Structure 1
Amino acid sequence: MRVFYMSVLSLFLLVGCATNKGPLYDGSSYKQMKRIEIGRVIKQRPVVISDNGTGTFLGAVVGAVLGSTVGRGSGTTLAMLGGGLAGGYAGKEIGKANGAELTVELESGEMVVVVVKGSDFIAVGDRVKIIKDGNKVAQVDKISN
């Protein structure tokens, strides 16, 4: 059991090995050409972005491991199950992020809506550059005037 705990701890320590000096690109899409759209934000509203499942999974694993250390016999099984459920719920809530839904009028006159994590860096009236990866938004940056 000690090996299991050390493995879980090692996994959590190794998760943050990459530097955070730029946007995150998917391993299969970073070589593909991207398209850029320029526009002005005409409307902004706050949104909550749900967990993509990672927080729920990690929370459930950690909760189950911690729950397995409580009780004896069948009590351990119940504690492990309860810990997994509680950890999954906590992970789901922790995995949520604040964001903003931006309505952007592109230079072409077309109107689009994009959702970005965080909301403090782009405001109504700001010019933005939207980097598209196929039909997905890869990144939205404020353009300095």
Structure 2
Amino acid sequence: MKALMTLALVSTMAAGLAGCVVAPNSGSIYTSRQAQNEQTVRIATVESVREVRIDKGNSGTGALTGAALGGLAGSTVGGGNGSVAAGILGAVAGGLAGDNVEANMKRHAGVEITVRLDSGELRAITQDADELFRPGERVRLLSDGRKTRVTH
């Protein structure tokens, strides 16, 4: 029984870790699929920059992993019905904690950059806050038809 519980725990943890992998929203990081693809380049002037939070959303794997760990830890307390009750409480507490951990891992600092194209049009692009932009500076907008990033 313990071997089966350990196998279930390891499987849940592996699924939880896989769910934590998120694609970047950086102006400086390209995925392998984005590399060597042609992009349209436009030049613009930064109008304003606003700090935002980027939230990748919860997949539920944090809650599942936490529940599995909490349930396993709780079930080792006491014996009989007490062990079952402790396992249930551990699973609930672990699920809540795991959901909170996942939410915090998937939220990070971003910037909303409003630019004025040379044509006079305004555009706003949100991306990771890993590059500093200032109003009045000239920047490049790189677009592949789906995503646009702002770079220097």
Q: Confirm or deny a common fold (TM above 0.5).
A: yes
Q: CA deviation at 1:125?
A: 2.4
Give the one of 124, 128, 145 matched to 2:135: 124
Number of the residue aligned with 2:24: none
Q: Partners of 2:37 and 2:87 in 1: how far apart?
A: 50
Give the one of 91, 95, 113 matched to 1:80: 91
Number of the residue aligned with 1:60: 63
Provide the aligned length of Structure 1 versus Structure 2.
132
Structure 2 unmatched runs, 5+ = 22-27, 75-82
Greater relative contact order, per chain length (Cα 8 Å cut-off, separation 6+)? 2
Task: Tell me, yes or no, if structure 1 residue 49 matches structure 2 residue 54.
Answer: yes
Number of the residue aligned with 1:99: 110
Task: Tell me, yes or no, if structure 1 residue 139 matches structure 2 residue 136.
Answer: no
Number of the residue aligned with 1:4: 8
Contact preservation (8 Å) 1:37, 1:106: yes
Q: Partners of 2:120 and 2:143 in 1: how far apart?
A: 17
Larger Rg: 2
Q: Where does structure 1 differ by over 3 angstroms across 4 or more consecutive aligned residues?
A: 5-13, 29-34
Contact preservation (8 Å) 2:66, 2:97: yes
Q: Partners of 1:52 and 1:131 in 2: how far apart?
A: 26
Contact preservation (8 Å) 1:46, 1:119: no
Q: CA deviation at 1:74?
A: 2.9
Deviations 1:22-51, CA, capped at 9 Å, x for gaps: 3136x6x77975433221111111111123
Give the one of 90, 113, 125 matched to 2:101: 90
TM-score by length of 1: 0.71
CA distance 1:131–1:41, shift in 2 (3 Å)? same
Structure 1 unmatched runs, 5+ = none
CA distance 1:41–1:30, shift in 2 (3 Å)? same
Number of the residue aligned with 2:45: 40
Q: Partners of 1:76 and 1:96 in 2: how far apart?
A: 30
TM-score by length of 2: 0.69
Contact preservation (8 Å) 2:12, 2:68: no
RMSD between superposed Cα atoms in Å: 3.0
